[in-house]
């Protein structure tokens, strides 16, 4: 018997089992376990609200690495709101686009359920899908995003917008204040990108760690520290 080959085979088998286990855990995390199960898995993996570099990240041209679609109820609420007011003409035109008219509302968004913060309601990072693409949710090079709070009730989930903004880049950080995760936001031009961290303080948002990265032919050449108070006034 070739011991070296057998050891190599065993190692390959163990590695394959590890990969499969990770995939199964991820599938459970973002499917049927619900908020409590997802939060338990975050803890088991050592990735709770006080650990890890970030929880999820997205840009105008890229979706979060791991995501799902929001529930039909959440998607309907995002589009129509609580009062089912008449839609903006641009949004109505987007929904009536013949190429995508039959696409369910929930397929027009992607979401990432975030780890629970103590006894706070479940939070979801939500953004528009890239396909089908709806111009209504995009600026020149920014995209709209929401942090949606979901509270269960006897008549079904109740949704509330905890945060709504637009940016070129959004990163949900593991740190949090006032029951809401801190965000790193970014806005870019051809030659520079400006970044800042935004956190909730009382009834308003404050900025910190503001910086501007300068590029030359796609290469970072200089990072400039910015005055966050001045940036917040823009």
Q: What pLDDT, in 10s, does the model give residues 135-183?
A: 999 998 899 999 999 999 999 899 999 999 999 999 999 999 999 999 9
Please tell me the predicted confidence (pLDDT) of residue 19: 43
* DSSP letter (8 states) at residue 98: T
| Averaged pLDDT score across all residues of the chain | 81
Does 24 have pLDDT greater than 60?
A: no
Q: Which two tokens stand for residue 39?
A: 């939060």
Tell me how far apart the alpha carbons of residues 23 and 16 are, in angstroms, rounded to a whole number: 11
pLDDT category at 84 given cuts 50, 70, 90 is: low
Report whether 125 contacts 149 (CB < 8 A): no
Please tell me the predicted confidence (pLDDT) of residue 86: 65
Does 10 have pLDDT greater than 70?
A: no
pLDDT category at 122 given cuts 50, 70, 90 is: very high
Does 42 have pLDDT greater than 70?
A: no
Tell me phi and psi for residue 134, to 5 degrees: -120, 110
> What residues does each domain of the chain span?
32-232
Please tell me the predicted confidence (pLDDT) of residue 229: 92
Does 87 have pLDDT greater than 90?
A: no
Please tell me the predicted confidence (pLDDT) of residue 9: 47
Does 210 have pLDDT greater than 80?
A: yes
Q: Is 18 helix (H, G, I), strand (E, B) or coil?
A: helix
Please tell me the predicted confidence (pLDDT) of residue 233: 84
Range list of β-strands (E), the chain: 56-59, 109-113, 122-128, 143-151, 158-167, 169-177, 180-188, 192-201, 204-216, 219-225
Please tell me the predicted confidence (pLDDT) of residue 23: 42
The answer to which of 33-42, 134-143, 164-173, 198-207 has the lowest mean pLDDT is 33-42
Q: What is the CA radius of gyration of the chain?
A: 21
Please tell me the predicted confidence (pLDDT) of residue 67: 96
Adjacency order of strands within the sheet including 143-151: 109-113, 122-128, 143-151, 158-167
Choose from 26-30, 101-105, 168-172 the range with maximum mean pLDDT: 168-172
- What is the pLDDT averaged over residues 115-133? 95
- What is the pLDDT averaged over residues 122-146? 95
Does 114 have pLDDT greater than 50?
A: yes
Tell me phi and psi for residue 8, to 5 degrees: -65, -40
Please tell me the predicted confidence (pLDDT) of residue 51: 37
Please tell me the predicted confidence (pLDDT) of residue 200: 95
Tell me how far apart the alpha carbons of residues 92 and 198 are, in angstroms, rounded to a whole number: 32
């Amino acid at each position: 018997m070739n011991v070296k080959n057998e050891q190599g085979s065993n190692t390959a088998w163990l590695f394959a089992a590890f990969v499969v286990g990770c995939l199964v855990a991820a599938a459970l995390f973002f499917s049927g376990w619900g908020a409590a199960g997802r939060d338990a898995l975050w803890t088991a993996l050592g990735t709770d609200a006080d650990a890890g570099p970030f929880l999820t990240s997205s840009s105008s041209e890229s979706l979060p690495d791991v995501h799902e679609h929001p529930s039909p109820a959440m998607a309907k609420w995002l589009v129509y709101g609580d009062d089912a007011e008449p839609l903006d003409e641009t949004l109505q035109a987007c929904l009536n686009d013949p190429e995508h008219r039959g696409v369910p509302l929930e397929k027009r968004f992607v979401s990432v359920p975030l780890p629970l913060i103590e006894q706070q309601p479940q939070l979801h990072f939500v953004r528009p899908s890239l396909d089908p693409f709806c111009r209504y949710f995009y600026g020149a090079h920014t995209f709209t995003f929401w942090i949606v709070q979901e509270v269960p009730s006897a008549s079904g989930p109740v949704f509330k917008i905890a945060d709504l903004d637009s940016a070129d880049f959004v990163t949900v950080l593991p740190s949090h204040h006032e029951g809401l995760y801190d965000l790193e936001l970014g806005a870019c031009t051809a030659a520079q990108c400006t970044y800042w961290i935004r956190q909730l303080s009382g009834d308003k948002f404050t900025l910190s760690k503001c910086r501007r990265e300068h590029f030359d032919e796609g290469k970072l050449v200089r990072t400039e520290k910015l005055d966050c108070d001045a940036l917040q006034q823009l």
